[in-house]
Amino acid sequence: MTGEKKEADALQNAPECCDSDVDAILAEVHNTERKGIGMLSKRKASDYKKYLPSLVSFVLLIAGIIADNAFDSDFFKGPIRLLWYGVAYLPVGLPVLRKGFVLITRGKVFTEFFLMSVATIGAFFIGEYPEGVAVMLFYTIGELFQDDAVDKAKRSIKALLDIRPRVANVMRGGNYTSVSPEEVLIGEVILIKAGEQVALDGVMLSDRGAFNTSALTGESRPSTIARGEPVLAGMVNTGKVTEVKIIRKYEDSSLAKILYLVQEATQKKAPTEQFIRKFAKIYTPIVVYLAIALVFLPYFFAETYVFEDWLYRGMIFLVISCPCAFVISIPLGYFGGIGAASRHGVLFKGSNYLDLITKIDTVVMDKTGTLTKGVFRIKKIDSGLFDETEFMKLVGALESHSTHPIARAVTEYTGRLDLPYQVVDVEESAGHGLSGTVNGKNVLAGNQRLLEQYNIDIDQPDERIVDTVVYVAIDHRYAGYFTVADEIKEDALQTVKSLHALGIRDVIMLSGDHEEVVREVATELGLTTAYGGLLPEDKVEKVASLKAEGGRTIAAVGDGINDAPILAMADIGIAMGGLGSDAAIETADVILQTDQPSKLLTAISIGKATRRIVWQNIGLAFGVKLVVLVLGAFGLATMWEAVFADVGVALLAILNAVRLQRMEWE
């Protein structure tokens, strides 16, 4: 297929300028193979080579202007002058003329190529050769800078995508073989050398290892992982050689999900972005028709009508009307926001959520794993008439079949005990606890509601106990209880204070833990509203009642599978991704890759900065264009002011948008 044929096919579905965005114009026009020069030069050309046509035009333009003003000779006049500026025009103008013509033949008239072609040809028609060349030259340079700015924004996200591992050393036939990560099967063992990246999710087989988790969490602090603990794709081994047993295929790994989320994020457009695209679709043809009217209508009203003068004003209108400043810079702003967030451990599933997170006034937060560490420790055991060791063996064997934080506390406590027990018929009741058969004995371990379901009476422990109480029944008889305690995260208190300082009126805690524990945590964090003893359906009911009040924009923050319903129901769901369940992460709109609640503040700050820059660009583009349009209509602006109103403002807006990629947030 020839370059021209590829180019024509690409333009078959090319959007109009006013309906373009980063992925449309740049992917379908700039990334096609072409033989043209200037802004439409091959993307594979070097950075220097793509600027060469503009440099040639610039040198010829300057030489022509010098010849116009520095010499009195009659040589540089008439056909010679037209030929000189025509040669200066061709390197940057010919590709634009060709693109405009191809799009017109396919029914797309109001494009940037058409606007620039008509404006510059009109300038030549009335003898304004230098201005015709200058408009096309600066427009081309502006487009090249736009290309570079968008490439930079894409590279900020591509840097995350480039962490994709290319090879995994898998144990097969007694030897380690290098294969593609997609070929590794569940249950196989891979070797991770020092400095290498983990290719798939698994569990540590070696005694201990040190890993850099910055690719997943945005935090460069190394993490120590012990035998049996999870190791995630994307981590980098900073210690000795380790072995990892694979528990998920590559396409199901944490890294693959993150890459998918980042790639998909740019497809969900923010309302501001959607509005600008729709508005620009109407705006550009209106300005074109106004330019036509500006050229011909004065004939019927002006005392002295000079066609060349009014044509010049119409050309100015056309140059100014090109909406590139906001059509490119606004998507670029959101693109930069998503990239900046991903580098700081916050994944937005779409630019629409960058907008929405700035509007929240109510935050509903889970307790365990969100505000608290979710790492429980057993504090007290009351086994009643049962031997304490046997009591904990039975409970530990049952709890080993759950991933709940309390279950992990029990299995950690009983890890040193010999548990050669057979466990069958295990059932986990969300928000209640576990039931199952351990060595032929029926064992229940959970809250009071679980035992009440089986009509088992319990002996209430000391009312002064505020830790979480887990009741145990063996063979349908109450056997005793144990208590576990959680710790509040170091940054939880400051996060709550900062949320209030940001103008969020209500920070509400919802928990399945009993009321005494919830009240104690709420008091320590300064929360005025907190509810305990809630099942997943109770949490949903609380969020539903908040939504029913109206006038609220609610964010729900959680990490567990029982939080998924409220994450889906809230206006914006935010999952704590570090230890968060797959269900919570899949349901959420925003993912905090660490388990720090303060990352919520980072997400809000990035959202606000993105929105601020986007509206700055909108105001700048419309304000300057409106002023120059009015001046141009009254003959007070030249083509040079028009170039600034289009290319100059576009460059300023792009530079403003690029700032997002350089900002730092704590």
Write out the catalytic residue numbers: 366
Are 232 and 255 within 8 A, CB to CB? yes
**For residues 200 and 257, what is the distance between their CA atoms, to the nearest angstrom?**
12
Are 436 and 401 within 8 A, CB to CB? yes
- The span from the first CA to the last CA of the chain, in angstroms, equals 51
Report the amino acid identity of residue 149.
Answer: A
Token readout for 267 is 């497809």
Q: Which strand (E) or helix (H) includes residue 466?
A: none
**For residues 453 and 247, what is the distance between their CA atoms, to the nearest angstrom?**
36
Instruction: Output the DSSP codes for 146-206.
Output: HHHHHHHHHHHHHHHHTT----EEEEETTEEEEE-GGGPPTT-EEEE-TTPBP-S-EEE-S
SS3 516: helix
φ, ψ of residue 203 to 5 degrees: the values are -120, 145
The alpha-carbon radius of gyration of the chain (Å, integer) is: 33
Are 637 and 319 within 8 A, CB to CB? no
37 strand-pairing partners: none
User: Alpha carbon of 583 to those of 161, 366, 562, 563: distances in Å?
Assistant: 23, 15, 9, 9
**For residues 622 and 335, what is the distance between their CA atoms, to the nearest angstrom?**
21
**For residues 610 and 571, what is the distance between their CA atoms, to the nearest angstrom?**
19
Q: How many CB atoms sit inside 10 A of residue 573's CB? A: 27
Buried b (16+ CB within 10 A) or exposed e, 541-562: ebbeebeeeeeebbbbbbbbbb
φ, ψ of residue 465 to 5 degrees: the values are -70, 125
SS3 657: helix
Report the amino acid identity of residue 626.
Answer: L
Q: Which strand (E) or helix (H) includes residue 237?
A: strand 236-237
Alpha helices in 188-306 (DSSP H): 214-217, 254-265, 271-296, 298-301
Chain centre to alpha carbon of residue 613? 16
Strands 202-204, 175-179: parallel, antiparallel or unpaired by DSSP? unpaired
* Residue tagged 């043809």 (tokens): 285
Are 135 and 645 within 8 A, CB to CB? no
**For residues 53 and 208, what is the distance between their CA atoms, to the nearest angstrom?**
59
State the DSSP code for 30.
Answer: I
Q: Which strand (E) or helix (H) includes residue 483?
A: strand 477-485
- Dihedral in degrees, nearest 10, Cα atoms 615, 619, 622, 626: 170
